Structure 1
Amino acid sequence: MNAGAIAALANAGVAVEVVEETGSTNADLLARAAGLSGPLLLVARNQTAGRGRAGRSWLSSSAGSLTFSLAWRFEGGLPRLSGLPLAVGVALAETLERLGVQVGLKWPNDVLRDGDKLAGILVETQAILQGGVWAVIGIGLNLAMPDELEAQIGHGVASLPWLARMDRDALLAALLDGLAGALRQFERAGFAAFAARWNLRHAWQGEQVCILDGGRVLHRGSAAGVDDAGRLLLDTVDGRIAVLAGDVSLRMKGG
């Protein structure tokens, strides 16, 4: 992977850096956020301490995965970022669809292929003293998952072996263009511009699910998509409720 080639192939107007190895591209960009002058894509050929939601580890292989983070500055406070991980999911899904891959979305931050996890999204933020906030959007995308790594993960994961054969610079440029376009739309209109597109790809629409927090069941019901704020709509025996994003996991009932 070559930073100059990615930037040249993309139309996003975003600076690009590629490093051979790092612990976490998200952690690196958060540490540098105060000194950034504009959006920056940081790609790691090998990431040794990737993170997922709720402090979970993200395991990846340098040969079979793409691991990268995009730092993007937003004006206003954190409330304006409601639904951002879901909007990123829509951007990934639409980009992959343009490349011939149909995927589904799982609330709040997973991209699925045939029911298994294909990509994960982690958004972390850092406030700016003069106003606004930096959002660091970390993405791990499985392309060709080695059997030994899948065994280490402990559950089925999806892969895209035909995209693994695609030129990595061109693939990253396509992903960057899709993300940058979506983030600029999010700046103008918030998640409301993405809600219908997310619901169109909702992998568990109508399924009976449980909402868990720390292993404890908070709610049970039928998944009914998301609202314009990115909250999961759940039809329960007591009526429809809206579940806020946070340290909450969604699991198939009985799963």
Structure 2
Amino acid sequence: MALRPWGSSRTEASSGILGCRVHVFDEVPSTQDVALELAAAGAPEGTVVLAKAQTKGRGRTGRAWLSTPGGGLWFSVLLRPGLAYPASAMLPVAVGFGTVLGLRRLGVPAGLKWPNDVFSRGKKLAGVIVEGRSSGGRLTVAVAGIGINWTVPDLPDARHGVTGVAAELTAAFAAPAGDLPSPALPDPEDVLSAVLAHVERSYLVLRAAGPGPFVSLWPSVSAHFGRPCVVTRGRGEGLAEVVLTGRLLSDGRLSVLGLDGGVRALHSAEVGLGLN
């Protein structure tokens, strides 16, 4: 079942920081590009750009993100964090935390695959990309793009299983015969509201308390803490290595244990991680 259509292009306001202004478009090349243009024009922090479809949606490391009408929620959020390292390096993880917790609030059994992919029952459900501008050693502008599948996308060449919110909630709400009917699926506005609310909380925690809370909560939010995973170099074309994943470090890197018994830290700009 496709996501119910949004209204025509418009601007709305919200009571929170994120979503103070929401721009909705029928189709754009990328919500990231629109949000970056709005940032350069002085748009306030919390501005959201949402599109029914993207023709050039992108994920981390430049991969294309399938963004069809009715297939999901495709939006970007403008932030003006002013964060210095290492808190600035934790921002993508913090946005991932908020996305996971917002989906869990709706009943989706979501978990975060380092650094910022959202999985449910071993399949990819959503992705996060954060692009920013720095000045004077601080991250002054950041645009967080979030893509959440509603239906299961047709990706025959995907390196991992894929899923959507509708499929995950249908499975979560499934009841034995004779029980009460399953709850209705949420409206798209409810999904957006839940995710934005939890991303905002995570963002404010990062600004106020730094990376510490995310390091502490990593085991409960991670989709793979303490589990074997596969590490690949670059965009996944290199040799694969099985590691045991461990704790999150304060600069957003991931500690892993190799088969040789050595412990090292992975950097998201250098490697990819696949669930084993």
In 1, Cα distance between the equivalents of 2:199 and 2:100? 10
Specify the alignment match of 1:15 in structure 2. Answer: 21
Superposition deviation, residue 90 in structure 1? 1.1
User: Which blocks of at least 5 consecutive residues in structure 1 are unaligned?
Assistant: none
TM-score calculated relative to the size of structure 2: 0.80
Of 141, 146, 149, which aligns to 1:142? 149
2:121 maps to amino acid: D
Superposition deviation, residue 145 in structure 1? 2.1
C-alpha contact 2:125 2:162 (8 A) present in aligned 1: yes
2:64 maps to amino acid: S
Of 120, 124, 134, which aligns to 1:117? 124
Superposition deviation, residue 130 in structure 1? 11
Superposition deviation, residue 242 in structure 1? 1.6
In 1, Cα distance between the equivalents of 2:127 and 2:241? 23
Does residue 190 in structure 1 map to residue 210 in structure 2? yes
Specify the alignment match of 2:199 in structure 1. Answer: 179
In 1, Cα distance between the equivalents of 2:26 and 2:113? 31
Q: Secondary structure at the match of 2:257?
A: strand
In 2, Cα distance between the equivalents of 1:131 and 1:90? 22
Q: Secondary structure at the match of 1:134?
A: strand
Specify the alignment match of 1:85 in structure 2. Answer: 92
Q: How many equivalent residue pairs?
A: 250
C-alpha contact 1:6 1:172 (8 A) present in aligned 2: no
Does residue 243 in structure 1 map to residue 266 in structure 2? yes
C-alpha contact 2:92 2:129 (8 A) present in aligned 1: yes
Of 93, 100, 108, which aligns to 2:115? 108
Q: Secondary structure at the match of 1:118?
A: strand
Superposition deviation, residue 127 in structure 1? 3.0
Does residue 151 in structure 1 map to residue 156 in structure 2? yes
Deviations 1:179-209 (A, max 9, x none): 1222111111222222222321222223333
In 1, Cα distance between the equivalents of 2:138 and 2:245? 37
C-alpha contact 2:57 2:64 (8 A) present in aligned 1: yes
Does residue 230 in structure 1 map to residue 237 in structure 2? no
Superposition deviation, residue 230 in structure 1? 1.9
Does residue 70 in structure 1 map to residue 77 in structure 2? yes
Specify the alignment match of 2:181 in structure 1. Answer: none
C-alpha contact 1:7 1:173 (8 A) present in aligned 2: no
Deviations 1:116-149 (A, max 9, x none): 0000000001235897511100010011125xx2
Superposition deviation, residue 252 in structure 1? 4.0
Superposition deviation, residue 176 in structure 1? 1.5
C-alpha contact 1:24 1:48 (8 A) present in aligned 2: yes
Q: CA RMSD in A?
A: 2.7
Specify the alignment match of 1:169 in structure 2. Answer: 189
Q: Secondary structure at the match of 2:53?
A: strand
Superposition deviation, residue 171 in structure 1? 2.1
Q: Secondary structure at the match of 2:40?
A: helix
Superposition deviation, residue 64 in structure 1? 2.0
Structure with the bigger percentage of helix = 1
Superposition deviation, residue 152 in structure 1? 6.3
Of 31, 36, 41, which aligns to 2:37? 31
C-alpha contact 1:86 1:198 (8 A) present in aligned 2: no
Structure with the bigger percentage of strand = 1
In 1, Cα distance between the equivalents of 2:89 and 2:105? 26
Q: Secondary structure at the match of 1:158?
A: coil
TM-score calculated relative to the size of structure 1: 0.86
* Gap change, CA 1:188 and 1:59, over 3 Å in 2: same
In 2, Cα distance between the equivalents of 1:207 and 1:52? 25
C-alpha contact 2:12 2:23 (8 A) present in aligned 1: no
* Gap change, CA 1:132 and 1:154, over 3 Å in 2: closer
In 2, Cα distance between the equivalents of 1:45 and 1:208? 37
